[in-house]
Amino acid sequence: MKYADGLWLNKPGYGVNYATQIYEVTADEKSINVLATNQWIGNRGMTLGGPVLEITFTSTLKNTIKVTVDHFKGRVTKAPSFELYEDADFKPVITEKDDAFELVSGKTKVVVPKGGAWDIKYYYDGRLLTKQGWRTTSYILEEQWKTNERMADDEMKPFFAHDDTAENGVMREMMNISVGESIYGFGEKFSTFVKNGQTVDVWNNDGGTSSEQSYKSIPFYVSSNSYGLFVNHPEKVNFEVASETVSKVAFSVQGEHLEYFVIGGANIAEVLSTYTDLTGKPALTPAYTFGLWLTTSFTTNYDEETVTSFIDGMAERDIPLEVFHFDCFWMKEFNWCDFTWDKRMFPDPKAMLQRLKAKGLEICVWINSYIAQRSTMFDEGVKGGYFLKTTDGSVWQGDMWQPGMAIVDFTNPAAREWYKSKLRALCEMGVNAFKTDFGERIPTKGVVYYDGSDPYKMHNYYTYLYNKTVHEVLEEYYGKDKACLFARSATVGGQKFPVHWGGDCFSNYESMWETLRGGLSLCMSGFGYFSHDISGFEAQGTPDLYKRWCAFGLMSSHSRLHGNSSYRVPWNFDEESCDVLRHWTKLKGRLMPYLWTQAHKTHETGIPMMRAMVVDYTDDPACRNLDRQYMLGDNLLVAPVFNEEGTAQYYVPEGKWTDIQTGKVFDGGKWYTTKHDYFSMPVLAKPNSIIVYGDFKRAFEYDYAENAEVVIYQLEDGKTAETVVYDTESNKLLTLKATRSGDVIKVTAEGTAKNFKVRSAEGLSIEM
């Protein structure tokens, strides 16, 4: 929210109390504490009233500075809180200088003056990251009185105390934006990729991909100056990104307390790695999940015969398929969710699933946490007390989505176990994965949670408990290495329960682009993987769009064909679509040794598989705004085609990059415009890289080292490239190292070598 009226004034009705004077500073072995007054103290009489702010700087994790700002510290703090991985024993280095205290965590440092004007600076390895100063840190009240009238104490309460009914206390912070600095992240945001100039509300909504709303809202941003800022509040956080004060990122929360972390790094990748140290690493999704997913679509009519015709049709056209997904209408209409197959369409679901699994498929089914009144689970939930309640003890109900629906209260351990029992029954039937839809439309007024959680804080946090509950079922049943969701909503920490897809998009090129922007922003926010509805969800696009989106979809970390009112099988578009889908699916299958290695890195480091160019090329100014191309892992640049003309416009960083399909070499540091048929788009191998191609047949889980082809791309003289090949049990099979000397590349291999071949893309001699 904006509180300023230009540079000098505030909007009428708001009293803004800035941290103006550093009045007192104390330090111990773990923290620096500042008492900041809202005015310059000229005499002792000026200390009789407030407000004053207490600001504490500490560190609970290497390369992070934790900042807490308090007005009133005595208020009750209600659940929930984000699950963070802080180290209570971590000790930063605190040094007292002549005029300031310094707190150092790793290479990240905050400098706090001992007195004078409010002036805080953050550094990484001696490089200034950001700072605070005049009129930045503040406590804001909505003024409900007139200063020229004498009032009783109770009438002045809105000024001196926070009122729960008025909710008029706001904590706000501002961080400096330096010249040329770009801001990214905030979760899955479909707006312009660089967030400068935008107002961002961290508040989950079911708004599709074509608005400022988001299914996955994360109070975290990263800067092109290689630092991140995480606001540790599950409730609504408002960001004004160079939109109110154009040289600042402002962020605000309701209440008397604000907590945030400043995270330093040598580059954006390091910042993301540290952020996921704090909030959780993405899980390693099973290898099969990287293959092609096909769904029934949403409102279509289908039964076992229809489903089988799709699966057999893909097999007849030699299009490898890994997962078949049953969307909503596997259950009877008006009964969602009862987790019971519609017997009119599926009279023997267990036998049907066995028949499908015999074809080499994994099975996913749609679920959500809303229970319709006609569901067989509704009365069970009411009796057990498993639903969200109103203040009078009634079950909260609504008609939006399912008539009379209730919402499962995941703060209740018994409700979680009840919900899990229903999902376990589906696993026993043969279901391998769940699409956890919805979780955004969570009421905040007049509702009561089992554990007394604050409904306002639970609005965003609900999805964390929902997805965690479902993920735990899959971990318990199949093991941690085999658990996979297909989730729409998320908050901080949701990256631990992948995969996430982009939600409801239209079937046009504009929506294809906004889908990519949303994915890049999400992966700037701690999430490791990203998927989307190939060819768009709403309506049905042209065969041209379908074929272009197939290329984009298969060169994403996870790939799913899904739509609303029509089937997304390729022959519904044209026969060439079958050829195109086959081509890109098989290319992805051949790339599985490379992709599986990259997935391991994402799981271990938190650096996303599918990421904006600026993550890898933070110091290249040309990469800062790029949102029509991305890196797929460390070594592949992908630039989808976003138009009917078949042209791709993209930037290639320094070095010599090689098109992995044509072998054409592109000199870096340049922009290119190239024309493509449906079987090509820019997929360029990074110089000084090794990519391992597997002997792919149909299944995405196979022996990645058996008969593999190892290709070394543009290895420069004197340079070394390395890679690792894993098997599907996540064991290292093979470690490869290549070093060039003159026109000869010497390759060493450690581990299990299985008839693999090595070649140089340039045709240089290979010495083993």
Kindly list the catalytic residues: 437, 440, 504
d(CA 377, CA 170): 41
d(CA 355, CA 341): 16
Which of 76, 69, 62 shows the shortest CA–CA distance to 108?
62
Q: How far is CA 533 from CA 353, 539, 540, 547, 557, in A?
A: 24, 12, 12, 13, 13
What residues have CB less than 8 Å from 47, skipping those under 6 apart? 37, 41
What residues have CB less than 8 Å from 330, skipping those under 6 apart? 296, 341, 342, 345, 346, 365, 366
Helix axes 413-429, 349-357, angle to 10 degrees: 60
First to last CA, the chain: 63
d(CA 622, CA 669): 9
Which of 710, 712, 713, 714 shows the shortest CA–CA distance to 695?
710
* Token duo for residue 601: 């890195």
What value, to the nearest 5°, has the Cα angle with vertex 251 and ends 248 and 257? 135
**Cα radius of gyration rounded to whole Å, the chain:** 28
d(CA 241, CA 2): 11
Residues 448, 452, 453, 454, Cα dihedral to 10°: 60
Q: Which of helix, strand or coil describes residue 586?
A: helix
d(CA 228, CA 220): 7
Helix axes 592-605, 575-590, angle to 10 degrees: 60
Please provide residue 423's backbone torsions phi and psi, each rounded to the nearest 5 degrees: -75, -35
Which of 728, 721, 754, 762 shows the shortest CA–CA distance to 593?
728
**What residue type is 674 in one-letter code?**
T
Q: DSSP letters of 1-23?
A: ---EETTTEE-TTEEEEE--EEE
Q: Which of helix, strand or coil describes residue 41?
A: coil
| Chain CA centroid to CA 246, Å | 26
Burial classification of residue 673, based on how many CB atoms lie within 10 Å of its CB (0-12 exposed, 13-18 middle, 19 or more buried): exposed
Q: Which of helix, strand or coil describes residue 476?
A: helix
